[in-house]
Structure 1
Amino acid sequence: MEVHVNGIPDYLEAWIVTQRWYAGKGRAPRFEDIGGFELEDVSDGSHGQVSIRVHLILDHAANPVLYQVPLTERRTPLPGGESGLVATLVDESGSTHIYDGPFDPAYATALLRLILDEREVQDPRTSGRLAARGHRYPYGDGLGVVSSRVLGGEQSNTSIVYETVLRGDGPGSPVICKLFRALHDGDNPDVVLTEALGTAGSTVAPRVIGHLTGQWRDSGKPHGLATGHLAFAEEFLPGVQDAWRVALRAADVGEDFTAPSRALGETTAEMHRTLATALPSRATTPADIVQIVSNMRERFEMAAAQVPSLAVYREALREVYVRAASSPWPPLQRIHGDFHLGQVLAVPGRGWVVLDFEGEPLRPMTERSLPDIPLRDVAGMLRSFDYVAGSIALSQPGRSVTEWALACRRAFLDGYIERSGRDVRAHRAVLDAFEIDKALYEAVYEARNRPAWLSIPRDAITRLIERATQS
């Protein structure tokens, strides 16, 4: 086994660059192991037999990114663990099987216990400096781990789903723990916003179990240390569908979806109202408006550079942005930031439940943690209804559910206005600008990944410009 001077073995470097959460694809990595911590194997099936270490690996290529890479080592293969196998090393003493931590019950159990027991662990390479600390919320009291599995399909994080038991052998509620793969100095919005909603008594987000914070060396920070969230555990809601699937099925069979859309508008308003109360908010200043509109102009130019067919909108969008800048704006507050039908679950007996408050993945974490305009979330959901209609038109040529989508959009706004007491239609010019901004992002995504879908955001931009410039 070859090991680079930065402490990263060849097998690990080769494995990292193939993972979905690795953001440096297409570039030569420059990895450095900057620290981490060890966990005790406390799982029933392998107690004390598995070595567990969490590595913090910095990629210096282009924009530096810090990755969290938990690994386990076993002398005998983990039954059913093939999907998590990183490497098998053979030496004179035998074989060592190395696994991606979330796929190994030993690590999964140790991680949740670290949170539930509110323990601290230290980095053995830094003379006992604090490396991680667990924090439990009341909903996590008395929980024990029965089993774990990795939830598939995620891009930037890895989520572990646990079956739990209450102390005393009663059944516990399922838990999902999101392991943040790319780490950032400062609080993660998903943790902050979900915890703020729960502390305020709101049920629009899953109940919080707890979180894990970490500390690592960073020469660019005061005292040479950075602190951020490593993992976040919350209530798991099994056997439910997200709003995208529910809405798509309704549109496909021609089912009226205005009542659920109105309820979703009410849930969105409740989310915004609670966040505005629980976390700092302030009036939007002229300088804020200038900056936000300037950012929209810049994003258009970047989008047009990547999708040249968008350049035809340049002149018309100048008028759209001028109208938005001269219109009334609502206050700034914390928002979801990446709001669409796929971020909402339909939970029987509870209604709509909102997930994933990390914000727009392409925006820097520092920006995602700042107060923003709630119309950004409203625009995101309006775009999502439009995507339902567009996806059906593409999959069923000649069929149109445009009127279905328009009815859902109107119902969503009606529900939002009623619950919030704020007439977002009075901010129509601003809302249109945000929706166009979102559609431009979609156009770049589709051009890169699904060119056949580019017509969905393009048609929306055309329609929105026509309405915005004729009103």
Structure 2
Amino acid sequence: MPKTVSPGPRVTSGPEDRPRASLAGLLREWLPRQRWFAGKDRPVTDLTVLSQTELFPGCLHLLVHAGHSQVPAPVGTDPAGDCYQLLLGVREQPAPRLERAFIGRVQEGPLAGLAVYDALYDPHSAELLLERLRHPGTAGPLRFEADPDLRVPGALAPRLLDAEQSNSSLVYGDAYILKVFRRIQPGVNPDLEVPGALAAQGCARVPAPVAWFRTTEPWPATLGVLQPFLPGAADGWTLALRALAAGDDFTTEAHELGRSTAEVHLALATAFPSGAHGENGHTAEAMTARLEAAVHCVPALRPFVPGLRTAFGALATCDAGPPVQRIHGDLHLGQVLRAGREWFVIDFEGEPSRPLTERRSAQSPVRDVAGMLRSFDYAARQRRPWRPEWARRCREAFCAGYAARAGWDPRKKHALLRAHETDRAVYEVLYEARHRPDWLPVPMAAIKRLAVRGG
């Protein structure tokens, strides 16, 4: 744990704002070690505190920008850096239970000598954050808002989930879950916008927002969303692995999941009407560009480029498929929950590395279908020996369930589905190479299959 601040990257703050400068000095060492930090493969060369607000005594809300100037940006990342949301506790001596949340001690300025830690690990701070959401109002540029027709009870014990990667989530009394976004982009986050719109459509497959908070500085952005928690629910990834371990079939669950996914797509098409068909030629060009960029980062892709190009080339000449619409954008088994006999869809942020405007744009629903089909393959490869037939049956059952509710069959859009699966597999190769090299053989196996015509 850092005890002092060593010389390093430049810290930017107003000349009159020494607390910002001293905090930024601590954070430049701590940020890169967090699992939700996106620039782990690039050193932080600049750290700017964009906004600092006292949320309540002993707790500061910060928006900080981590820059990577003069460092080449990997594909899928912002070359200018990223903005992160932090809630920092400030105490003379933090409680022993907060040791893992400790960031360091401020060395200068008005906060000199005080200990700083991640306040989301502090139950007291988590309780006060819920109180802010229960009683809408403002704190500097922060705006706390809620559905006026819903009442959130107080005195709900908080616990921080350990499973989150790109965000942080607090569960309150097994009744509500608060997702605190870590990487912040200007605009309305889809994880607030989409569930709210679906709730208005009466779609019960997505938990509706109960309360949320946002900021107006340095630009309008969503910071967090409170939704009902589904106690006893299990995510699709866990259920699939259980079925594999027990040697059980998963086709019934996959079929029902396909129907549920189609229901969500139909509700999305109504909530965000588009009516337009996608330009397959433009989509193929974008996919090809992503492939070319990925090859520079993962040379293992190079032998398969000609075959993968054929998948995108076929997309440019096939039928347009279903109309483009708002979609989930990052659908896989970890983004669905099963409670009782019902499936629910969560986490509508889309792929966090993509710009917010792209994640909110109308796209082909085939992209979501392809994401789930890839997820069945991922699950099947978690056990040895690999069970390709298990994945194939799940894929067939999911598509059949989807077709029964959507009115069109993804399997009959072969060129469209192959192109989107290929694009997804390229994304997976890039992700695994950057974050989980041991998992790289999983998407590479799909790359080898999809590079063969008809794969």
TM-score (norm 2): 0.87
Q: Do residues 295 (structure 1) and 286 (structure 2) align? A: yes
Identity in percent: 38
The Cα shift of 1:310 comes to: 2.2
The residue type equivalent to 1:70 in the other structure is L
- Paired position in structure 1 for 2:74: none
C-alpha deviations, 1:405-452, integer Å up to 9, x for none? 111111100000001112223321101110011112222333445445
Where 1:468 maps in the other structure, the secondary structure is: coil
The residue type equivalent to 2:334 in the other structure is G
Q: Do residues 442 (structure 1) and 424 (structure 2) align? A: no
C-alpha deviations, 1:55-86, integer Å up to 9, x for none? 22222434132222221223453352222222
Distance 1:15 1:451, change over 3 A: closer
User: 1:337 aligned to 329, 343, 347, which one?
Assistant: 329
CA separation in 2, counterparts of 1:51 and 1:311? 53
CA contact (8 A) 1:320 1:429 kept: yes
Distance 1:410 1:38, change over 3 A: same
Aligned-pair Cα RMSD in Å: 2.5
- Paired position in structure 2 for 1:383: 374
Q: Do residues 202 (structure 1) and 210 (structure 2) align? A: no
User: 2:44 aligned to 28, 33, 42, which one?
Assistant: 28
Where 2:452 maps in the other structure, the secondary structure is: helix
Q: How does 1:363-382 map to 2 (within 5 A)?
A: 363-382=354-373
- Paired position in structure 2 for 1:223: none
The Cα shift of 1:462 comes to: 3.2
CA separation in 2, counterparts of 1:261 and 1:253? 16
Where 1:208 maps in the other structure, the secondary structure is: coil
Q: How does 1:151-300 map to 2 (within 5 A)?
A: 151-163=161-173, 174-217=175-218, 226-285=219-278, 288-300=279-291
The residue type equivalent to 2:30 in the other structure is W
Q: Do residues 456 (structure 1) and 416 (structure 2) align? A: no
The Cα shift of 1:380 comes to: 0.5
Distance 1:448 1:464, change over 3 A: same
The Cα shift of 1:259 comes to: 0.8
User: 1:112 aligned to 113, 130, 137, which one?
Assistant: 130
CA separation in 1, counterparts of 2:247 and 2:159? 37
CA separation in 2, counterparts of 1:321 and 1:5? 44
The residue type equivalent to 1:97 in the other structure is A
User: 2:406 aligned to 420, 429, 447, which one?
Assistant: 420
Where 2:187 maps in the other structure, the secondary structure is: coil
CA separation in 2, counterparts of 1:444 and 1:117? 43
CA contact (8 A) 2:311 2:422 kept: no
- Paired position in structure 2 for 1:66: 83
The residue type equivalent to 1:380 in the other structure is G
User: 2:154 aligned to 144, 151, 156, which one?
Assistant: 144
C-alpha deviations, 1:366-416, integer Å up to 9, x for none? 211111111000000001111122222xxx2xx342112111111100000
- Paired position in structure 2 for 1:16: 31
CA separation in 1, counterparts of 2:299 and 2:291? 11
CA separation in 1, counterparts of 2:373 and 2:345? 16
CA separation in 1, counterparts of 2:180 and 2:369? 28
Unaligned runs of 5+ in 1: 41-49, 123-130, 164-172, 218-225
Distance 1:450 1:79, change over 3 A: closer
Where 1:353 maps in the other structure, the secondary structure is: strand
The residue type equivalent to 1:428 in the other structure is H
Distance 1:144 1:409, change over 3 A: same
Larger Rg: 1
TM-score (norm 1): 0.84
CA contact (8 A) 1:105 1:148 kept: yes
The residue type equivalent to 1:102 in the other structure is L
The residue type equivalent to 1:201 in the other structure is G
CA contact (8 A) 2:337 2:344 kept: yes
